[in-house]
């Protein structure tokens, strides 16, 4: 990865969800508002400061560039396109979530 680029594994199953009444809403259903998506970081460039491999990041799936590597589909984005980072590497007592 170059500069501040982040490579994430796109979770295809994350799009399907359940309503509070138990109805399954497929990922292809059109929603009025845009939904952000969580994904796991696979690789980062040398200038990425807040993201490390293994973190989970929140981003807008509409603003993405997909790339296929060895038959797997990943998303490449700039670090500034990440809305939040969930990391397990933080000290006890903190939430591990940065917005």
pTM higher than 0.85 = no
Query: What pLDDT is recorded for position 93?
Result: 58
Cα dihedral value 60, 64, 8, 69, nearest 10: 160
Q: Which DSSP symbol is given to 91?
A: P
Question: Domains plus CATH for the chain?
Answer: 5-90 (2.30.33.40)
Residue 34 CA to chain centroid, in angstroms? 14
DSSP 27-57: TTS--SS---EEEEEEEE-TT--S--TT-EE
pLDDT bracket for residue 40 (50, 70, 90): very high
């Amino acid at each position: 990865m170059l500069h501040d680029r982040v490579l994430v594994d796109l979770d295809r199953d994350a799009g399907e969800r359940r309503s509070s009444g138990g109805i399954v809403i497929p990922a292809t259903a059109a929603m009025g508002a845009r939904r952000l998506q969580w994904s796991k970081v696979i690789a980062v460039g040398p200038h990425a400061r807040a993201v490390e491999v293994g973190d989970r990041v929140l981003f807008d799936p509409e603003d993405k560039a997909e790339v296929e590597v060895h038959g797997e589909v990943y998303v490449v984005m700039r670090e500034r396109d990440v809305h939040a980072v969930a990391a397990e590497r933080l000290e006890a007592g903190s939430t591990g979530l940065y917005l």
